[in-house]
A = this chain, B = another copy of it.
Amino acid sequence: MSHNNIARKVQNLQSSAIRELLKHSKMDGVISLGGGIPDPDLFDREGLQIAMDNVLSSGWKEAFQYGLSEGSPALREAICSLLSKRQIHCHVDDVVVTSGSQQSLDILARALIDPGDVVVVERPTYLAALQIFQLAEANLMSVGTDGDGMIIDELEALVKTTRVKAVYIVPTFGNPGGVTLAEHRRKQLVELSKRYGFVIIEDDPYGEINFTDKTFTPLKAWAETMDNSDNVIYTSTFSKILAPGTRVGWLVVPGWLKRQVVNLKQATDLHTSALSQSLTWHYLQTGRLSGQIALIRDAYKQKCQTLSQHLEKELGDHLTFHQPMGGMFLWARFKYELNTTQWLQKTLNNGVVYVPGEFFYCKEPDHSTLRMSYVSVPEANLKEAVVRLKASLDASV
- Residues on A lying within 8 angstroms of B by beta carbon are 1, 3-8, 10-11, 13-14, 37-38, 40, 43, 45, 48-49, 52, 56, 60-67, 98-100, 102-103, 106, 110-114, 117, 128, 131-132, 135, 197, 199, 230-231, 239, 243-247, 254, 256-257, 259-260, 263-264, 266-276, 279
Contacts and interface: CB of A to CB of B under 8 A. Distances in A.
Contacts of A98: 269
Closest 9 A/B residue pairs (Cβ):
A245-B274, A64-B243, A7-B260, A64-B245, A103-B269, A10-B263, A4-B114, A99-B269, A40-B61
B56 A43 contact: no
A interface, over-half SS: helix
A65 B257 contact: no
A245 B66 CA distance: 5
A64 B37 contact: no
Contact of A40 (B5, B52, B65, B128): B65
B106 A268 contact: yes
A8 B111 CA distance: 8
Nearest to A270: B102
Contact of A245 (B14, B62, B243): B62
Q: How many copies does the complex hold?
A: 2
Contacts of A11: 259-260, 263
Given A1-B231, A4-B111, A112-B4, A102 B268 contact: yes
A11 B111 CA distance: 10
A7 to B, nearest CB: 4
A100 B269 contact: yes
A62 B49 CA distance: 14
5 contacts: A38-B65, A52-B56, A65-B243, A66-B245, A128-B267
Given A63-B245, A102-B266, A276-B276, 8 more contacts: A6-B110, A11-B259, A38-B65, A100-B270, A128-B267, A247-B269, A273-B275, A275-B275
Contacts of A67: 245
A270 to B, nearest CB: 5
B7 A111 contact: yes
A245 B273 contact: yes
Given A11-B260, A66-B244, A131 B275 contact: no
Q: Which of A3, A111, A199, A259 has the most CB of B within 10 A?
A: A3
Contacts of A8: 260
A260 B99 contact: no
Contact of A1 (B10, B14, B38, B256): B256
Contact of A61 (B14, B43, B239): B43
Nearest to A40: B61
A258 to B, nearest CB: 10
A257 B102 contact: no
A64 B244 contact: yes
A268 B100 CA distance: 10
Contacts of A103: 268-269
Contact of A114 (B5, B112, B132): B5
B267 A106 contact: yes
Given A1-B230, A1-B256, A49 B56 contact: yes
